[in-house]
Amino acid sequence: MAASGEMLISPILQEYIKNGDVVGICVSGGLDSKTVALRLRLAGVKVKCFCADIGQPDEEDINDIPKKMAPCGVETIIVDLKDEIAEGAFEAVAAGASYDGGYWQSTGIGRYVTARGLLQEMKKHGCTVLSHGATGRGNDQVRFERYVNVIDPNFKVYAPWRDPVLLQEFPGRTEMLSYLQNHGIGHTIVSQAKKRYSTDANILGLSNEAEDLESMQTPMTIVNPVMGVWPKDAPDKQEEIEMSFEQGRCVKINGKAVTAFEALTQANQIAGRNGIGLSQALENRILGTKSRGVYEAPGMVLLAEALKTVYQAVLDRRSTSLFKFLSTHVSDQVYDGRYFDPSTRCAINAVWELAEPAKGTVKLGLYKGHMNFLSLTDCPHSIYFEEDSSMEASSGLNPASSQGFLEVSSVEAKSMAKAGLIDYGSVWSKRRKLQ
C-alpha cells in the first residue's frame, strides 16, 4: 500500500496515461465495476464504461446500471446484444453444444457475444484498451483476452485483477467497500444469509458458483432458482408445449411464429415454471482445474430436447455419429474461448448442413422437471418408416431378406473367432487376476 494520502499507480496504468489511451471498461454495476472505474479515473486514466444487454434475468432494469455507475464519475453506454445472444443460443442448440454435466454454455456464449459487441462499440468511442473484471483463476480471462486478440490484435487488454498493485490495494470485498465509502459512494451487498454463492446470468441461463457451492458437502438445493422453480415446486399438472422447427431452428411455439429471442424467452418461461433445466457439475476449466457449478437453463434444455427428437428422425446412423463429434468440438471450442477459430467455424457450418432436413413439429409434456415425448408431426424428411421396423406383418422390409446379410456378417465373426481374437469372459475378472 502507498503512504497515507498517496495513490500508488501501477506501471500498466502509467503507460496508458503516457500514451493517452482510452480504457473501455466492461461493467455490470457491481462492486468490482465501481471500484475499478473509480480507481482508474482518479489515477488519471481516460475511462469509458460499457455494459452488454444480453437479457440478464437477474437484472430488473439494465438501464439502472448507468445510474449505479454515475457516482464514480464515468459515462456508461448500454449495448443491446439481445438478438446476438439469442442467435448464439440457437446455434448451440442446433449443435447440441452443452458442456460438462449439461452446462448449456450461458457464460461461454455470453463472452464471445459481449466481447465482440462491446469491442466494436468501444472503437466507435475512441477506446484503445478493453478492461474486463475476470479473475486470474477462472475461464473468463482467457475468453475475453483471446476474443479481443483474434478480433483486433492491436487492441490492448487490461485485467485489473491481475494487476499486482490493484490486487494489493483491494485483496477483498471489504477493502473495495471501504474505498467506495471513503469517496462518498454507497454500495449494497446482498445478504450472505440469503445468497451464499455468486451468479453470472444472461438470457441463456445462470451459472451459480463460488462461496458455499465450492464445498461438495453443500447440496445444490441451496440455490434459489431465478428462471424457474425446483421440480418439487412445479405444478401438479402436465403442461403440453408444441414446437415447430425448420432447418434446426425453432420457428413456432404453440402454433405462433417466433424470432430467436422470442423463442428463447417463451421457452424459458414455460420450462422454468415446470422445473426444467436445473443441473450441477464439476466442470473441467480451461486452466486444468475443476469448478463446481449449479446451472439454470430451462429454455435451452427444452429447445434442445425437442430438436433432438427431430434429429433422431432425419439423421442416419453415420450422420448421427458425425454430429456427435461436431457437437463435442463446438462445445469445447466455445467453452475455451475459441468460437472464432477456423475449426469451430467449419464444425458449425457442418452442423447447419446436417440440420437442413431437420423440419418437424414436436409436442412434449412437461411435468415436475421431466419432459415426456407426446408426438412428432410434419416431418417430411424422416427416415423412420413404421412398416420397415414393425413387429407385425407389413409391406415393409421382408424378414427373409435378412438371411443374406447375416450370412455375410457371419464370415467376419467366424474368422475372428478362429483367429483367437475373441475374449467373451468378464473383463473385470481378468483385470483382477492380472494384478
Mean pLDDT, rounded, for 367-382: 98
Q: How far apart are the first and last CA of the chain?
A: 59
Which pLDDT value is given to residue 193?
A: 46
Q: What's the CA angle centered on 352, arms 350 and 358, to 5 degrees?
A: 125
Which pLDDT value is given to residue 148?
A: 97
- Both 136 and 237 in one domain: the answer is no
- Both 212 and 317 in one domain: the answer is yes
Residues listed for the chain: 435
Which pLDDT value is given to residue 195?
A: 66
Q: Tell whether the model's pLDDT for residue 5 goes beyond 50.
A: no
Q: Could you tell me the strand order of the sheet in which 370-377 lies?
A: 256-257, 249-253, 239-246, 360-367, 370-377
DSSP 190-203: PPTTT--SEEEEET
Specify the pairing of strand 129-131 against strand 22-26. Answer: parallel
Neighbour-count burial of 2, counting CB atoms closer than 10 A to its CB (0-12 exposed, 13-18 middle, 19+ buried): exposed
Q: Tell whether the model's pLDDT for residue 382 goes beyond 60.
A: yes
- Both 361 and 225 in one domain: the answer is yes
Per the structure, how many domains does the chain have? 2
Distance in angstroms (rounded) separating the CA atoms of residues 275 and 367: 8
Half-sphere exposure of 282 (CA within 13 A, CB side): 6
Do 54 and 202 form a contact (C-beta atoms < 8 A)? yes
Q: Tell whether the model's pLDDT for residue 401 goes beyond 80.
A: no
- Both 228 and 354 in one domain: the answer is yes
Which pLDDT value is given to residue 4?
A: 42
Last residue of a domain, one of 325, 356, 377: 377
Chain segment 176-204, per-residue pLDDT in tens: 999 999 999 987 765 444 668 888 889 99
Chain segment 77-127, per-residue pLDDT in tens: 999 999 999 999 999 999 999 998 889 999 999 999 999 999 999 999 999
Neighbours of 95 (CB within 10 A): 27
- Both 211 and 310 in one domain: the answer is yes
> 390 falls in which pLDDT band (50, 70, 90)?
low
- Both 306 and 351 in one domain: the answer is yes
Which pLDDT value is given to residue 194?
A: 60
> Is 265 inside any structural domain?
yes
- Both 27 and 175 in one domain: the answer is yes
- Both 178 and 279 in one domain: the answer is no
Mean pLDDT, rounded, for 215-228: 94
What's the Cα-to-Cα distance from 341 to each of 69, 322, 344, rounded to whole Å? Answer: 35, 20, 5
Helix (H, G, I), strand (E, B) or coil at 378: coil
Domain containing 116 — which CATH number?
Answer: 3.40.50.620
Chain segment 413-431, per-residue pLDDT in tens: 999 999 999 998 889 998 8
> 242 falls in which pLDDT band (50, 70, 90)?
very high
Chain segment 118-134, per-residue pLDDT in tens: 999 999 999 999 999 88
The cell for 297 is 437453463
Which pLDDT value is given to residue 296?
A: 96
Do 260 and 249 form a contact (C-beta atoms < 8 A)? yes
What does the mean pLDDT of the chain come to? 92
Closest CA to 205 of 291, 106, 331, 97: 106
Domain containing 217 — which CATH number?
Answer: 3.90.1260.10
> Is 101 inside any structural domain?
no
Last residue of a domain, one of 182, 214, 242: 182
The cell for 369 is 422437471
> Is 149 inside any structural domain?
yes
Which pLDDT value is given to residue 192?
A: 45
Last residue of a domain, one of 324, 359, 377: 377
> Is 73 inside any structural domain?
yes
> Is 402 inside any structural domain?
no
Which pLDDT value is given to residue 284?
A: 92
Q: Which domain holds residue 242?
A: 204-377
Which pLDDT value is given to residue 396?
A: 64
- Both 122 and 240 in one domain: the answer is no
- H-state helical runs in 274-401: 298-314, 317-335, 342-354, 386-389
In this prediction the pTM is 0.91
Residue with cell 427373409: 400
Chain segment 243-298, per-residue pLDDT in tens: 999 999 999 999 999 999 999 999 999 999 999 999 999 999 988 889 899 999 99
Q: How far is CA 428 from the centre of its chain?
A: 38
Based on C-alpha coordinates, what's the Rg of the chain?
26
Residue with cell 469448478: 291
Which pLDDT value is given to residue 102?
A: 87
Q: Tell whether the model's pLDDT for residue 160 goes beyond 50.
A: yes
Helix (H, G, I), strand (E, B) or coil at 158: strand
> Is 213 inside any structural domain?
yes
- Both 72 and 40 in one domain: the answer is yes
